[in-house]
Structure 1
Amino acid sequence: MNETEFHRQLHRPGTLIDVGAHDGLITLPLARLPGSRVIAFEPLPAAFARLQATLRAAFGGMPAHVDCRAAALGDHAGEITLAMPVLDGVAQEQWASTAKDYAAHVSARVAVERFTVPLLRLDDLGLTDVTAMKIDAEGAEYEILRGARDTLLRCRPVLTIEIEERHREGSTWAVPAFLDALGYDVLFELHDTWHPVAALDRATMQRASPDPSIFEASDPYVFVFYALPREDAPALLARLQAPA
């Protein structure tokens, strides 16, 4: 199951948060769900421009129910540096991160481009109807969730989170532990079977190089995790496991 299908199956009308929207791969299907209002955060300038273009092309203009924000999320408001590796002259946008600077990987092949971007805290928006969140932030997941703590406790949205040890060592322990303390069950899916995050074997399922010039990863490589409010988890999981 991919992230889009997860959110489609568990959709409830309300505000859907897309953190690290890039050029709209998940923003667009979220925006097409009935009764949805989407807030999409994308701090990388080139990707933000494509995100807006994607939405305009799909809806014949910027849709009123989608709010695009050229900002990163974290646990405080202000500004932050967004670092993006450039490999052999090609921007590696999918690796852009506020959590690391890639300085250790600079070489004849790898350069780093840096941007100063706005940093927002989700809780400061005072949202009361968040039903789902998708987070893809290359190592900044913990700070994003810290800044969304009150929103998570108040609204109890379902979440999809990409978490990778190659982007931040220890994150596959720290992020699920934070969510556990807020009353969330964190799961992953492998070969059509759902597993608790405690079943993750990092040595065989999360082995990948942190160097953007080295393309190697374990098989399987599990990096998408799903978080369900514990009080609703059995019923929500049953919906995910129901035959199509």
Structure 2
Amino acid sequence: MDELTFLTRWHRPGLIVDAGAHDGLLTLPLARLPGARVLAFEPLPEAHARLARACAGLANVTLRREALSDAAGTLKLVLPVLDGVPQEQWASTVKSYAGFGQRVGTRRLSVPAVTLDSLALADVVALKLDVEGAEYEVLRGARETLRRCRPLLTLELEERHREGATWAVPAFLDALGYDTGFHLDGRWHPVAALDRPRMHRASPDPSVFGAASERYVFNFFAWPRERDAEVRGV
């Protein structure tokens, strides 16, 4: 199951927050869901410009050129450059991309950051996170929103971007009354069932495309425990 399938299947009208929207791969189909409004965050200037063009004329989409984090301020966004080509989807506020050899360079940008809680949103029904290792900070800055709104969550968690992420993020959400799992072979599995050596091995180096797990699991889903029977069908 992918992010769009999950968010579509259990969609409720309201506000969907897209953190790490890039150029709108999910922003646009999410905006077409019944009764949906989308608040999309994309701090990378070039990607934000493409996102703005793609969303032009969509009254139910609001764009912000900021990163979400656990405190307001300014963050360093590091964009790896492989053989002279920027790798936008690897841009991260928590990775330096140092020590990967001559093929991998970097661009560093200062980007504004806000917390989701600071926006005092009233009707968040879903939160999609694709932030290359900064998931924990985003969720810490959204703690009160999660408690108040109880949204569904999709999370791209990768140990190659943030060591310990597949443990720390589910533990944080567990304390807020959320279950986290992944969907494989047509059924739900708890995050505790993730066999990291077989199912979650990949290089943190943008120039290395091999040596990944044969079945690389990195899409995780979280839901409030009060919706467990609805989501898991039990």
TM-score interval, smaller chain: over 0.9
Alignment of 1:152-163 (within 5 A): 152-163=146-157
Deviation, structure 1 residue 222? 0.3
Match of 2:82 among 87, 91, 104: 87
Confirm or deny that 1:136 pairs with 2:130: yes
Match in the other structure for 2:44: 44
Match of 2:166 among 162, 172, 189: 172
Q: Which moved more, 1:229-238 or 1:90-99?
A: 229-238
Q: Deviations over 1:6-30 (max 9, x none)?
A: 1111111111000000000000011
Match in the other structure for 1:18: 18
SS in structure 2 of the partner of residue 104 of structure 1: coil
Match in the other structure for 2:99: 104
Confirm or deny that 1:210 pairs with 2:204: yes
Q: Deviations over 1:143-182 (max 9, x none)?
A: 0000000000000000000000000111100000000110
Deviation, structure 1 residue 224? 0.4
Structure 2 unaligned spans of 5+: none
Q: Deviations over 1:36-93 (max 9, x none)?
A: 111000011111011111122xxxx2x2211100010000001100001000111111
TM-score, with length taken from structure 1: 0.94
TM-score, with length taken from structure 2: 0.97
> For residue 232 of structure 1, what is the amino acid of its counterpart?
R
> For residue 213 of structure 2, what is the amino acid of its counterpart?
S
Deviation, structure 1 residue 233? 1.1
CA RMSD of aligned residues (A): 1.0
> For residue 234 of structure 1, what is the amino acid of its counterpart?
A
SS in structure 1 of the partner of residue 133 of structure 2: coil
Structure 1 unaligned spans of 5+: none
Deviation, structure 1 residue 236? 2.1
Match of 2:114 among 120, 124, 134: 120
Match in the other structure for 1:70: 65
Runs of 4+ residues over 3 Å off in structure 1: none
> For residue 16 of structure 1, what is the amino acid of its counterpart?
I
Give the Cα separation in 2 of the matches to 1:128 and 1:237: 26
> For residue 84 of structure 1, what is the amino acid of its counterpart?
L
Q: Which moved more, 1:46-55 or 1:169-178?
A: 46-55
